[in-house]
Amino acid sequence: MNEYNNGYMAMGRYAVWTSDVNDNDKPDLNEAFFLRRERQPDDPLLQSGRLYVGTNRWPENLDGFRERILQYTDAMDGLSRKFMPICAVALGLPPDYFDAAFAESQFTFRLSHYPPVAAEVNQFGIAPHTDANFLTFLAQTDVPGLQVRMPDGTWQDVPYIPNSYAVNSGDIMYRWTNGRFKSTPHRAVPPVGQDRYAIPFFLGPHIDTLIECLPSCQGPDHPPRFEPMTYDAYLHWWYKANYDASLQDDLDETAVG
């Protein structure tokens, strides 16, 4: 991975250590490839040196990989924007309320591989957590593993529905709505007898969007619970606490074998 947390992450190098869902103390049993919005060299945000809008790191000698991935992320970016009027109306806001914030979204795309390996106690394919972004769109697979925590604390398998997406709300949704829309607690257990692959698309607003309590989510008896902060500032806090790209520097072949 490069300094922007883009590229390949070996297995056993990461978990959401700040999770409010579980006391995560062991690294996750998956390997992954990460990228963000592809930017041209003259893009002002790229030239500014901003940490989470940096260049992608593409693998060599994989014909068509980059082109197919960019086609998919473009399609997902367009699909996700169709959800914004739904979110706005559900919150009692004008349908176009979020349009400006998501006109140039800050997204992360992750291609994950979960091998069928044995886990230690309190170890998972992905440990229990909530996502840091606004909404997550996950194309469904018939290989089980993804689970969601119910209000009573039990874990339930996410049912497989062909040609569908599982959609999670994330921490930015939670902060923006003053806790009205919850972050979805979820985890992935290692698959049994076969590999599992997942391609979640993590949608966030423009990097400079100010996340402050929405007008429809506060009142005399429900004051804002969170200090306003930019999405950029939130990502800096989250990645510093959870995700150190330098941990990839000592990669060896046994880590992925």
Q: Which two structure tokens, joined as six digits, stand for 162?
A: 């062909």
Place of tokens 């008896």: 221
- The catalytically annotated residue of 13, 175, 187, 196 is 196
Residues shown for the chain: 257
Whether 196 is catalytic is: yes
Place of tokens 């909530």: 130
What residues contact 183, with CB distance under 8 A and at least 6 apart?
Answer: 130, 131, 168, 169, 170, 171, 173, 174
CA–CA separation, 207 and 230 (whole Å)? 7
9: enclosing H helix or E strand: strand 7-9
What residues contact 156, with CB distance under 8 A and at least 6 apart?
Answer: 147, 148, 149, 150
Active site residue ranges? 196
